[in-house]
Chain A
Amino acid sequence: MSDKHNAPETLKAIQRSLGQSIQVPLLIEKESGDYEVQVEKYDILVLEEMVETKTLSGAERLSTYNQQYWFRFLEVMREEYPLLDGILGSVEFNRMVSAYLNRFPSSSPTLRYLSVDLVKFLRNEEHEWKSLLYEQCAAFEFAYIESFDAAEFTPLELGSLDENMLDLNLTFQPHLKLVTADFDLVSMRGRVKREEPLLETEKVQSENPFYWAIYRRENKLISFALGRLQFLLLTYLETMPFGDAFEKLVSELEEKEIQFLAKNVKLWFALWASQSWFAEPEV
């Protein structure tokens, strides 16, 4: 089945013009957070089409949609990024989100993926929110969004790790997300959710990175702290059989770490399997 008939040209033109107008950014004042609509930037075509009322001009009527556009998005982003909001403060958060959505407007039918390009924006674009903390925080909180409603395949029943598994290509549950950061984001997010103030020391880059697996268990989102070697092994397992992943990791380690790995790998594997991180391959 297809939909090949063409839309009226007048409909295309008015939708283009109305769309341009309602996404004109609100001017958010840096200190107070007050905002202004920029009606002078609305497109002329749609302005000339607007029916005025006794009390409202066409531009004033149109501004209802302009404001709703931004309020809706700011509210959704604030719900999805409590830590980033807590770190930036609400006014800066609103300014950053406005700049992001101005650069990367939504193309998804669902508001849950409004922020799909946020990490890219924070990492690659020139703006005043260039910061490793903001970027890593965005990646961390997006992992929660992705994990929440990702598929869950039948868990793979595994015995204990032995030599027969060296050629095994493991499939991870789609809701398992591996995340690393230079800040203790789990602790910080917990603090924000409990409405406690963040500590300035928490915002300083740590000497040792943090590693987590974010996944779903009985429909609850869990952030599970990993060691560096666990994280690296899991990362390699995403793309290669167990034996190759293990060899690759060993080739990067010092003797002391190799001994630690050898001593613990069976335990780790059993733990991961017990959390159902591995899945039957999708048919």
Chain B
Amino acid sequence: MRPAFAKDLGIGVGLRVPHLSYVFEHWPKVDFFEIISENFMVDGGLPLDNLRRILEHYKVVQHGVSLSIASAEPLDFDYLKRLKALLAITNAPWVSDHLCWSTENSHNYHDLLPFPYTEENAKYIAEKARIVQDYLERPFALENLSSYISFKSSQMPEWEFYTSVVEQAGVYMMLDVNNVYVSSVNHSYDPMDYLKYLPMDRVIQTHVAGHTELPNGTILDTHDDHVKKEVWELYRYVDQQSGGVSTILEWDAHFLSFEDTLAEANIARSYRHER
């Protein structure tokens, strides 16, 4: 059973700059928005003013891209301090970031990078995740990443590693259903093996998104197209198993109008009605 704080907020979309003027003009009915935390961890100006206007009308959850929790470097408490300050503004019920690394030797690669799935690494990252949740004083969820490489030294499949980290840390899952599909193709496994293994009571939010297939067969997590049928099928399973969980459509390039983006997100409702 999901924890009480993680109630189903419904269906929302990632808040993106190209849609702001429409939202401010029409104030469309949206269950909730997800913001990229780093876009608002600033001292002033338009981003924060826009966020304050959004918060007057909508619920917001925070999703980050720069925590770099799997980095071999220590946690960046300057970053966490700014993240916590933003949480005080948004009052988001939970905050999420990726199970990946982005920094090494003070160099930020600005990418969501994979690493070997070993017991030692799971233990190390779980400890950091526990510290993050304690420091932020807010439920913290980790997102499974989409990846294009895998490592010979991995000792377990990603779903076991993911579960091990969140259970050891006492944190939660921000399950990106598109990422499960993307990685399953890139690494040749059955995505249902992934989903069937996960403790659904730890899943407090999901993402759906579109992706792009390269000529060499690699699938990139590009968030620039409609959600593929295969991904919606996986979403159907997650929805049924979870009993309905807060869902965000991510769309980050080749933008549609806000109305069309919301319509894409609302496809998720048809799966919910099947329950």
Contacts and interface: CB of A to CB of B under 8 A. Distances in A.
B105 A16 contact: yes
Contact of B216 (A8, A19, A56, A109): A56
A283 interface: no
Interface residues of A, number: 51
Contact of A148 (B45, B118, B153): B45
Contact of A14 (B43, B131, B151, B188): B151
A72 B107 contact: no
B148 interface: yes
B72 A7 contact: yes
Interface in B87-142: 101, 104-111, 113, 115-116, 118, 120-121, 124, 127-128, 131, 134-135
Contact of A149 (B44, B106, B108): B44
B38 interface: yes
Contact of B105 (A19, A68, A106, A216): A19
Q: Which of A72, A107, A110, A175 has the most CB of B within 10 A?
A: A110
A107 B106 contact: yes
Contacts of B76: 109
B220 interface: yes
Interface stretch (A45-53, A119-127, A227-235): A45-53
B267 interface: no
Interface string A119-157: 000000000000000000000000000001111100000
Nearest to B106: A107
Interface in B182-211: 187-188
Q: Which of B75, B109, B214 has the most CB of A within 10 A?
A: B109
Nearest to B80: A1
Contact of A56 (B116, B152, B218): B218
Given A61-B148, A149-B43, A19 B124 contact: no
A244 B151 CA distance: 65
Interface string B41-82: 111111111000000000000000010001111111101000
Contacts of A23: 107, 109
Interface in A53-103: 53, 55-56, 58, 60-62, 64-65, 68-69, 72-73
Given A53-B217, A60-B216, A175-B45, 18 more contacts: A3-B75, A4-B74, A11-B70, A12-B72, A15-B104, A16-B105, A49-B151, A50-B152, A51-B187, A53-B188, A64-B214, A69-B109, A106-B107, A107-B108, A114-B110, A149-B48, A151-B44, A152-B44
B100 to A, nearest CB: 11
A10 B216 contact: no
13 contacts: A4-B74, A7-B73, A10-B118, A10-B120, A14-B115, A51-B151, A53-B188, A56-B216, A65-B149, A106-B110, A109-B79, A149-B43, A219-B49
A62 B109 CA distance: 14
A160 interface: no
Contacts of B109: 19, 22-23, 69, 106
Contacts of B124: 5, 7-8, 11
A8 B152 CA distance: 17
A5 B127 contact: yes
A142 B28 CA distance: 36
B240 interface: no
A65 B44 contact: no
